[in-house]
Amino acid sequence: MNTNSYPTQLRASADECVGIGDFIFNDERDYLYIVLPNKNGKFATDSEGRAVLDPIRISRTPTSHPRTWHWDGNETAPTLQPSIDWRGHWHGFLTNGVLKSC
């Protein structure tokens, strides 16, 4: 299991998201798209070899929706709660701009 931590980096566009921790927001700030690590410390790629951005639905206010993460509003070093569980690939937290594996 991957137990590494990865710093995140806000990018200007999806094309600039090329490594673990790179992320962007959509214009409405209700989704964060991030390159997540897998259990081997790599990241998924699409058919053209680009890093896959995983969508995470976010809200600045606490919510009971089971597939929405609470976001602290920090755009450069975000914190999401609860943990992110990419089943079978990676499980961890995004805290103060760092992906921390469980």
Domain assignment of residue 102, yes or no: no
Residue 62 has pLDDT above 80, yes or no: no
Confidence at residue 88, expressed as pLDDT on a 0 to 100 scale: 84
Provide mean pLDDT across the span 25-48: 94
Query: How far, in Å, are 11, 26, 30, 50, 93 from residue 16 at the CA level?
Result: 6, 14, 20, 10, 23
Domain assignment of residue 101, yes or no: no
Confidence at residue 50, expressed as pLDDT on a 0 to 100 scale: 93
Domain assignment of residue 15, yes or no: yes
Total structural domains in the chain?
A: 1
Confidence at residue 1, expressed as pLDDT on a 0 to 100 scale: 65
Confidence at residue 63, expressed as pLDDT on a 0 to 100 scale: 73
CA–CA dist 9, 28 (Å, integer): 19
Domain assignment of residue 41, yes or no: yes
Domain ranges, residue 23:
5-96
Provide mean pLDDT across the span 43-71: 91
> Is cis: bond before 82, omega within 30 of 0?
yes
Average pLDDT, the chain: 93
Domain assignment of residue 69, yes or no: yes
